[in-house]
Amino acid sequence: MRKQILNLAYPAIISNITVPLVGLVDIALVGRLGSAAYIGGVGFASIVFSFIYSGLGFLRMSTNGLTAQAYGASNFREANSILVRAVILGVFSGLLLIVLQVPLEKLLISVFNSSPESLKYASEYFYVRIYATPASLSVIAFMGWFVGMQDTKTPMWLTLIISIANIVFSLLFVVYFQMGIKGVALGTVIAQYLGLVSSILFYFKKYKSYSLFINKNSILKFDEIKRFFNISKDIFIRSILLTGSFFLFNIVSADFGDDILALNSVMLQFLWFFAYFADGFANAGGSIAGKYKGAKNLKLLNETIKESLRLGFHVAIAFTLIYVVFSKQFINILTDSAKVIILFETYGFWVWLIPLTGFAAFIYDGIYIGITESKIMRNLMIFSILIVFVPLLFIAKLYLGNHGMWAVLILMLLTRGIGLKIYIKKAVEIKELKVKS
């Protein structure tokens, strides 16, 4: 089982790890433009797009879980129909976001209580990057489908193509054409459309025979569409709450001024970096778990969960050691702002706690997505964010300042991991799985 997870995990890790690296390059580029407001602006806009894409993350998650189960049941016609439905929805959602870009910018950017300069840069970035959304959402759907098909190598190549293109074009537009923050956003737009073209080419190269399964009646099956939207609804609520918590964290951070905002934006990169790495194991474990759910094999499903957690724990220990030893070196790479570097001396120890307190939540998320137990995920997220995180964040900010805010964020990670652990037995022991053990 370990070998099976690792074979799927290592390409997923390579692909996932490039995502925060692109974010690090963006932060590093704007961090040398001369003002902390640039970092704050990119931080704001990046959170806005994370909020949007996480809300629509069901395009990947629902597609992943449902495809894995169809694959496990050898129902390849339905597997292909899932992809077509998801891509159509992704394109439509992206076009709708472009149409609604002005009210979205007013709603999502204006909520930040920050300097006019930071908000100006955030808006500039937003109005360029929004045109990437149809491609970005379609690529998300393709990647979820490939992983559901037990294929993590294709998403790895896709992510590498997108990431390298993003870095190259961002550097070109910022350094050579002196386009500033708009250049960073434009690099992302071009990279996403290259990613969409590459997704289509990979599909026809590796799964050309599957195109024979495409027909209107299969795609428009009401029961399957209803199931997709029921699962997606729960994942939407879960994702909006999770990303909204980080969105709120940045809003509250802005109350302390541009320097603390910039510090917290940089420190959150440590969380994203670990999360994307841990998600490699979560995606692999979830995809295999979904396959065994489709095959109705409870024994191997439980074995998959246990082994995924063991591997996740080992990764968490490794990252803790890396953060303890090298976090100061990382902060100097991310910014040359003397104020931010000095502030990190006081607050940086919080990033040491992220891996061990967060790994269980990340691994279990992958498992729950693979077996499409979305209601449990949704309910636990509602509790973790609305009952624990939000009220305690404001109390901690008032009495403990930025230290208190980071303590509450760590508590939220722990709450999610523990809750998902408590309910995992209920999630997997369902009637349809008791047919075969």
Nearest CA to 184 among 115, 136, 116, 129?
129
Does residue 254 have a pLDDT over 90?
Answer: no
* pLDDT of res. 433: 46
- The ranges assigned to domains in the chain are 2-429
Entry pTM = 0.78
Does residue 213 have a pLDDT over 90?
Answer: no
Does residue 434 have a pLDDT over 50?
Answer: no
Nearest CA to 312 among 346, 277, 341, 337?
277
Q: How far is CA 219 from the centre of its chain?
A: 27
Tokens of 417: 């991991």
Q: Which residue has the higher pLDDT, 357 or 54?
A: 357
Mean pLDDT within 76-88: 88
pLDDT tens for residues 291-310? 888 888 888 898 999 999 99
Q: Which residue has the higher pLDDT, 359 or 247?
A: 359
Other CB atoms within 10 Å distance of the CB of residue 34 = 10
Nearest CA to 288 among 371, 361, 363, 373?
371
* pLDDT of res. 177: 82
- The span from the CA of 381 to the CA of 416, in Å, is 7
Tokens of 306: 């246990």
Per the CB < 8 A criterion, the answer to whether 26 and 184 are in contact is: yes
Across the chain, mean pLDDT equals: 84
pLDDT tens for residues 363-404? 999 899 888 888 899 999 999 999 999 999 999 988 899 899
- The span from the CA of 20 to the CA of 379, in Å, is 28
